[in-house]
């Protein structure tokens, strides 16, 4: 199979997430990096290009130039990966989509719901793909939970508890920490920090596991650390379209926690518990109190999830594999579209619609919190 060609916007010196995306794409060998605008500084971008073996003439000063020139090349990129700070997502995605190039973009998709809807319109008009990398939905166990819920293993979902505590922004002095400075700067991150960075992961992971859509929210978005202008500790009450309820907690001041995303799904005949830092295991509690521990890699995993397994049981898969699973499906869909064999049911990655849902959630939470913690419909 001939490899697809891709480019990257962002992911230069000091970037954490750019390298994660590149490693994840490399897992299956379905695409190779051939172009990039890795930094706002052309000098820094060239450093990254050299490190990655990218030709100088395909290292661009701006993403606008990159979109223009790559679209005009006979050997131009087949898709682009956007891993910039939040503020640049919309314009970068729009530039490539308008040139007929499919996009993978980090979350949140944009900084406003209006921008997200604009991208959704362009994607549909152009017949392209836009993946939003809500990476945790790529875990085999996360996919198996969706199959469990669909099969009625826990009955009707009644309530969901989702939390994502981190402790890395618990302190006032963040000088010298590039990631922290970006997250806490409204010019870079938009109107929210914790909720937009990790709260959106809770929203999408719960949606992907349960299929439940949020009807309305009541949010309290606190700025706890002195001098902080964006939320660092947020609570959200949720009501879903089936009448079920939920509660989300997104915090970056919870000392002792790293990336503690947990989802607990409580149904009429059982419960499901999942912990992102131990993604190899699902705990299923039956109505009679029986606790079943489900391990990835065994025959009990549903075929829809098992097809993404890479290693035998006992050999842990993690975040990069989850990212890789999303990219594997994304690339397969691009290839199938080109070959005329694509059907909508092939799409198993988070799409532009997920990105729109994420921004609707964020904006509703902002409106709720800013108006005295009132219920706001999405």
Express each pLDDT in 46-69 by its tens digit.
Answer: 999 999 999 999 999 999 999 999
Q: Has residue 176 got a pLDDT over 80?
A: no
Q: Tell me which CATH homologous superfamily contains domain 140-306+357-377.
A: Dihydrodipicolinate Reductase; domain 2 (3.30.360.10)
If you average pLDDT over residues 128-134, what whole number do you get? 98
Query: Residue 174: its pLDDT value, please?
Result: 85
pLDDT confidence of 187, banded at 50, 70, 90?
confident
Q: How far apart are CA 70 and CA 74, in angstroms?
A: 8
Domain spans of the chain, in order of start: 4-128, 140-306+357-377
Q: How far apart are CA 220 and CA 238, in angstroms?
A: 12
Tens of pLDDT, residues 70-93: 999 999 999 999 999 999 999 999
Percent of the chain topping pLDDT 70: 100
Is residue 264 within a helix (H) or strand (E), and if so which, with residue range?
A: strand 262-267
Instruction: Please enumerate in sequence order all residues whose Cβ is within 8 A of that of 226, keeping only pairs 6 or more positions apart, or say none.
Output: 172
pLDDT confidence of 179, banded at 50, 70, 90?
confident
CA 311, distance to chain mean position in Å, is 23
Handedness of CA 249, 255, 259, 261 (dihedral sign): negative
Query: Residue 185: its pLDDT value, please?
Result: 85
Query: Residue 273: its pLDDT value, please?
Result: 98
- What is the C-alpha radius of gyration for the chain, rounded to an integer number of angstroms? 20
Q: Has residue 374 got a pLDDT over 80?
A: yes
Tens of pLDDT, residues 319-335: 999 999 999 999 999 99
pTM comes to 0.96
If you average pLDDT over residues 27-35, what whole number do you get? 98
DSSP letters spanning 149-187: HHTTTT-SEEEEEEEEE--TT-SS--TT-HHHHHHT-HH
What is the third-level CATH fold of 4-128?
Answer: Rossmann fold (3.40.50)
Query: Residue 104: its pLDDT value, please?
Result: 98
Query: Residue 177: its pLDDT value, please?
Result: 82
If you average pLDDT over residues 265-286, what whole number do you get? 98
């Amino acid at each position: 199979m001939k490899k697809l060609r891709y480019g990257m916007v962002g992911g230069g010196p000091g970037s954490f997430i750019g390298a994660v995306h590149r490693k994840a794409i490399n897992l299956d060998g379905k695409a190779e990096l051939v172009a990039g605008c890795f930094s706002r500084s052309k000098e820094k971008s060239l450093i990254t290009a050299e490190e990655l073996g990218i030709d100088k003439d395909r290292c661009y000063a701006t993403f606008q130039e990159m979109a223009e020139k790559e679209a005009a090349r006979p050997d131009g990129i087949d898709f682009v990966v956007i891993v910039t700070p939040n503020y640049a997502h919309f314009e970068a995605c729009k530039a490539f989509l308008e040139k007929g190039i499919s996009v993978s973009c980090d979350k949140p998709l944009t900084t406003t719901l209006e921008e997200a809807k604009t991208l959704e319109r362009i994607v549909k008009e152009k017949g392209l793909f836009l993946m939003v990398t809500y990476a945790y939905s790529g875990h085999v166990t996360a996919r198996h939970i969706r199959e469990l819920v669909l099969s009625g293993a826990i009955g009707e979902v009644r309530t969901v508890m989702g939390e994502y505590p981190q402790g890395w922004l618990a302190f006032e002095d963040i000088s010298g920490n590039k990631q922290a400075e970006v997250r806490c700067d409204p010019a870079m991150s938009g109107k929210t920090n914790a909720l937009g960075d990790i709260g959106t992961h809770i929203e999408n992971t719960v949606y992907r596991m349960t299929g439940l859509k949020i009807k309305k929210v009541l949010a309290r978005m606190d700025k706890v650390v002195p001098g902080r202008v964006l939320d660092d500790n947020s609570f959200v009450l949720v009501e879903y379209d089936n009448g079920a309820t939920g509660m989300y907690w997104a915090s970056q001041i919870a000392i002792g926690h790293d990336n503690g995303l947990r989802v607990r799904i409580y149904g009429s005949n059982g419960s499901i518990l999942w912990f992102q830092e131990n993604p190899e295991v699902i705990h299923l509690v039956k109505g009679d109190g029986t606790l079943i521990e489900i391990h990835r890699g065994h025959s009990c995993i549903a075929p829809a999830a098992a097809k993404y397994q890479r290693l035998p049981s006992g050999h842990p898969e993690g975040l990069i594999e989850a990212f890789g699973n999303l990219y594997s499906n994304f690339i397969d869909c691009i290839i199938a579209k080109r070959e005329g064999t694509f059907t909508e049911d092939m799409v198993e990655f988070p799409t532009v619609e997920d990105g729109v849902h994420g921004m609707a959630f964020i904006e509703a939470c902002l409106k709720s919190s800013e108006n005295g913690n009132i219920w706001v419909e999405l």
